Amino acid sequence: MRAMRPLLAFGYEFLVGDDWTIAVGVVLALALTTALTVAGIPAWWLLPLAILGTLALSLGRAIRRSR
């Protein structure tokens, strides 16, 4: 298990990076888009809006941290 720790840390850093809200925002947005599509509701507009929100949230967090 101890040997796996650096590999897991690398995987986390590689996929999640500096801000976990981006990865979470992307997963939630894709899940919601899939759910709407399955329900027969046109959802092409959702991902662009969700990405705007996720980027704004992540930038806001970075700015607050820099102060």
Partner 1 sequence: MTAAALLVATVFLACAVEAIEALTIVLAMGTTRGWRSTLYGVAGGLAVLAAVVAVLGPTLTVIPLGAVRLVVGGLLLVFGLQWLRKAILRASGFTALHDEAAIYDRQVHAARAATGSGGWLFVTDRYAFTLAFKGVLLEGLEVVFIVITLGTNMGSIALAVLGAALAVLVVTVIGVAVRAPLARVPENTMKFAVGVMLTSFGIFWGAEGAGVHWPGEDAALLGVLAYVLGVAGMAVGVLRRIHRKHGAAEPAGGG
Give contact residues for partner 1 (rule: CB under 8 A).
14-19, 22-23, 26-27, 30, 33-34, 37-38, 42-44, 46-48, 51-52, 54-56, 58-59, 62-63, 66-67
Q: How far is the CB of 23 from partner 1 (least distance, A)?
A: 5
Q: How far apart are CA 2 and CA 29, in angstroms?
A: 34
Q: How far is the CB of 29 from partner 1 (least distance, A)?
A: 8
**Identity of the residue, 1 or 39, whose beta carbon is nearer to partner 1 in the bound complex:** 39
Return phi, psi of residue 17, to 5°. Answer: 70, -145
DSSP 8-state symbol, 17: T
How many C-beta atoms surround the C-beta of residue 54 within 10 A?
19
